Each structure stands twice: as C-alpha cells, then as structure tokens.
Amino acid sequence: MNSNSRTSPSSLSVCSDTQLQLPSTLGLKQKLPITDALTRQVQDNRNTIRAILNGEDERLLVIVGPCSLHHPDSALEYAEKLLALAQSLNDEIFLVMRTYIEKPRTTVGWKGLAYDPWLNGSNDVHAGLEIARILLRDIVAKGLPIANEVLHPIAAGYFDDLMSWAAVGARTTESQVHRELVSGLGIPVGFKNGTDGGVAIACDAMRAAAHQHTHFGVNSQGVAAVIKTDGNPDTHLVLRGGIAGPNYDRFSVATAKTAMDKAALPSRILVDCSHSNSGKSHTRQPGVFANVLEQRLDGEHSLKGMMLESHLYEGCQVLGKSLRYGVSVTDACLGWDATEASLTHAALTLAKAKPRMKVIAV
C-alpha cells in the first residue's frame, strides 16, 4: 500500500498561512466538534476508570492498541474488532483503545500522525491535527474509550475532550511542565517510571500533579496566559521497566508499593507489558500479561491493570513508499489474534476466580 495514496477526510481545509500559525484549540474543537452524547460518554468512561483505580470497580483495566496510529483505515478496523471484544469481555475487563498520535523520539524520527500525517517528512501539522482529531472522534463515536500520551503540552488541548485516559512517558515524567499540565486535566493519568526503572521520579510527579498550580501556558483561544489548576487526584503509577531490566515481578511491585506508601500515595499501579518489561520484544508481552494477572489473582490489589501494544498484524516495519496494511511503523506490536487470545483467556480466568455466591432460600 502506498502511504501517499490514502484518502484524506473530505472535511479538511488545510491552513496555507506562510507563518504556519496554528488554530487555537477552541477553534479546532469548534470546527470539528463532538456531540453532547459523546461528551457524556467520555465522562462516563473516565468515571469508570476512576472507579477501577479506587477499587470501587473490580474489573481489570487494559489499555490496548497500536504503538502509534499512522493509517486511519487500519485504526478504524482495529477499533471495530476491539469494540466487539470489549462488549464480550465487559464483565471482567474494561478495555481502552491506545490511540497515540504523538510519539517521543530519543533523537529523530517520525513524530506521529499529528505531525506528519502523510508519512513523508512534509510535516503538514495543520492537516495532521485535523486528521488526528477526526480519527479520534470517529473511534470514540464507535463507543470506545481512548487513551493517549500527553507529549507536547500545546497539542494536548486539541484532543483532551476525547480522551478517557492519558499517560506521561518515562522521558517526561520528570518534567515540571508536564506535571503542571496534568494537574489541570480532568482525566485519569498514569505516570511511567523513569528510564532507569526507579519509581521515585514518578512518585514525585504524582504528588506534584495532585496539587494546585499557577503556571505559564496557552489558553483555549491560543493566547499566552496564566493558567491556574485545581490538581488531579486521579494519577497513578505505570511500571514499564528500565535500563536494568523489567520491573513487573512481585519484588518490584512490592518495592513500588513501599515507595508510594512513603510518599503518602494510594497504591494504584498499571503494568506496561511492552518496552523494557518485554525486553522490547512484542512476543514476550503475553507472558508479562499472564504473570501480572497471576499476581492480581493471588491478591495483589494494587495492580489495577495493564497496557499492551497491539495492531492488526504483528511486528513492525520501516517507513517507505510501500507499507503493509495494519502493521506498526514504530514499536513492534502483537497481532490481533494473539491479543484476542490473551484478553479472552484473562477474562475467563478472572471469571472462574470469582467466589461462588451461595443462594440461601428465605
């Protein structure tokens, strides 16, 4: 498939301003609005995730989907498959689709759909913002909650009304700007441990984001402004491993809980089954998933959920003129069949583990 042959949404009107001035976040939301019904749906999904994090909902939270979205058609096909699976597993697992449209780069590389939607280095950010918002809106309209990484502080405002969950990555968890940004988001947000594998930085981030802040920012009209935030009570830790190796094992989880206790933070942990926890091998993700599930079944109540990188087909590919449909262009992903098998098995295992209720005749 030629990446340049994709059909763009017909409603796009790309800005041609030579100064490359961006629309305000309010302007893009008004141009590509969501309905009141979708707004309520997003809020309901956020409340469900909060309930899971707080132990009020005993379901397993799973953030699952492509490492990054690069092709609207394959993303929508994945969403349709995930929606059907979510409906069948809903009693045991609450599925949230990973819909990352920004990607952090260690040095250089493709930065994501919002930056370079044509995958050719043209960096058509104006088209990227619109294509990304239309795609995310379409996925939400199918009935799925979605998750994103909060990467660039300005970009977050273009999509925050669509997100039910967000993450701050290992490279940015230490950033004061991101901690302040999260303090003003009405979204459950997971802070990943640092690249060294330690959790101290993430604990500091959660404490900082829980507080009120006054900071420099850009308001919804696109004007530099003083931003005042209320603090975010719905942050949590995401274990993703580090330079020293994985950190999803029982000892690492116990160590993370101790650090959170010392920081007076609630023990709410998600495990990223990819990245350093899988040794950056997508085929190891199911094993990590199974291990964490076993810990949860053994009574580790701090483990609220997991993350999986998954696409229609397994593996990854290098950007070029001809791309395989439904295959990641960033990190290697599980294929759909393996994803479905892992999640279905987990739901069956969780259902069997529920205590049987005795029916007493009165």
State pLDDT tens for residues 171-184: 999 999 999 999 99
Task: List all residues 6 or more positions away from 26 whose beta carbon is below 8 Å from its beta carbon.
Answer: 220, 221, 222
Angstrom distance (rounded) from CA 279 to CA 285: 9
Angstrom distance (rounded) from CA 196 to CA 73: 37
Position 198 scores a pLDDT of 95
* Residue matched to tokens 């583990």: 353
- The tally of CA atoms less than 13 A away on the side-chain side of residue 78 is 35
Q: What ranges in the chain are assigned the alpha helix state H?
A: 25-31, 36-53, 72-89, 125-141, 153-156, 176-183, 200-209, 250-262, 285-297, 336-353
Residue 283 belongs to a domain: yes
Angstrom distance (rounded) from CA 183 to CA 194: 19
Residue 103 belongs to a domain: yes
State pLDDT tens for residues 309-330: 999 999 999 998 899 999 999 9
State pLDDT tens for residues 6-43: 444 444 444 444 568 999 999 999 999 999 999 999 99
Beta bridge partners of 338: none
Instruction: Give me the number of domains the chain comprises.
Output: 1
Terminal-residue alpha carbon distance, the chain:
66
Assign residue 143 a region (left: φ > 0; alpha: ψ between -120 and 50; beta: otherwise). Answer: left
Angstrom distance (rounded) from CA 151 to CA 148: 9
pLDDT-above-90 percentage for the chain: 90
Angstrom distance (rounded) from CA 199 to CA 144: 30
Angstrom distance (rounded) from CA 275 to CA 107: 17
Task: List all residues 6 or more positions away from 168 whose beta carbon is below 8 Å from its beta carbon.
Answer: 149, 150, 175, 178, 182, 189, 190, 191, 192, 205
More confident of the two residues 105 and 204? 204
Angstrom distance (rounded) from CA 328 to CA 335: 10
Residue 24 belongs to a domain: no
Angstrom distance (rounded) from CA 294 to CA 239: 16
Angstrom distance (rounded) from CA 145 to CA 195: 28
Helix (H) or strand (E) holding 66: none
Compute the chain's Rg from CA coordinates: 20
Q: 13-17 contacts: CB < 8 A, separation 24 or more? A: 13/130, 14/124, 14/126, 14/127, 14/130, 15/126
Residue 7 belongs to a domain: no
Residue 31 belongs to a domain: no
Mean local confidence (pLDDT), 115-138: 97
Angstrom distance (rounded) from CA 4 to CA 285: 32
Position 246 scores a pLDDT of 98
Domain of 239, CATH number, reads: 3.20.20.70
Q: With a cut of 70, say whether residue 185 has pLDDT above it.
A: yes
Residue 188 belongs to a domain: yes
Predicted TM-score (pTM) of this structure? 0.92
Residue 93 belongs to a domain: yes
Q: With a cut of 90, say whether residue 360 has pLDDT above it.
A: no
Position 18 scores a pLDDT of 52
Mean local confidence (pLDDT), 317-344: 96
Residue 18 belongs to a domain: no
- Could you list the residue range(s) of the whole structural domain that residue 134 is in? 37-349
State pLDDT tens for residues 41-74: 999 999 999 999 999 999 999 999 999 999 999 9
- Beta strands 303-309; 269-272: pairing state: parallel
